[in-house]
Amino acid sequence: MTIIILQSALTVNSMDLPSKLSGLSIPTLSPPSKRLVSHQLVLSRDGRPLYTLPAIVDPSTGAAVAESLLIAKYLDRTYQDKPSILPQSTQALQVAFLDILPTHPHPILQFTLQKITQNILSPESEVYCRMVWAAMPNVLPPGVHLDDAFPMESRAKEWEKLEKLFAEIERWIGNETFTTGATASFADFALAGLLQCFKKAWTEGSEEWERVICFQGGRWKKFLEDLQQYE
């Protein structure tokens, strides 16, 4: 979820519109933030509506939109004088790309979750996430504390897998600057959201973040630098 919120922040920023980013704790997402999070995606197990992030409120139109792809489409439709986030000729291929990308962080996600809770989420959200993960045996074996679940010595292979998955993305992009050539678009913001999530979770200067930006000869350091014009 953090990755997609970072992606949507980049999406909004790329439009060069005046905007204000608000962080919300997960437990406060229900009724009090109903105005901000208008898009009721699913019902929770006890039948109450669930509200989701990312979401935007556009004071110039009064629209409230949730879900990253819908936000991008809304912005393209509403601000046609700005550079398109999902150019028509790339839209289907970008959606396909967005289906694949979330599997790329899988190898290290298991031991990165604790860093996300510590370094990105608010204390209230951390409590909530630990409660949710504790009920998901594929994330956390029953009775095992998150901090003890993935000892350092078992992580080397997972980092190797991650590097191979990023090599795949490098091969796709080839000699281009971004996934959509010379101009960045939604798929690039998704990839940047993933990288920024790693950076925020592990923190700048950490051994883990240094490892990621050294993948493929520093390809992802350059990618984030090239993207700075959109921030």
Residues near a second copy (CB under 8 A) are 87-97, 99-100, 168-169, 171-174, 176, 178-183, 187
Please state the closest distance from residue 141 (CB atom) to a second copy, in A. Answer: 30
Q: Minimum distance between the CB of residue 165 and a second copy, rounded to whole angstroms? A: 12
Of 93 and 132, which CB lies nearer to a second copy in the complex structure? 93
- Cβ nearer to a second copy, comparing 29 with 169: 169
Cβ closest to a second copy, residue 21 vs residue 92? 92
Residue 183 C-beta: closest distance to a second copy, Å: 7
Q: Which is nearer to a second copy, 73 or 155 (CB)?
A: 73
Q: Which of 2, 37, 53 is nearest to 198 (CA)?
A: 2
Rounded least distance, CB 176 to a second copy, Å: 6
| For a second copy, the closer CB: 25 or 87 | 87
Residues 68/69/73/78 CA torsion (nearest 10 deg): -10
- For the CB of residue 117, give the shortest distance to a second copy in the complex, in Å: 31
Residue type, 17: L
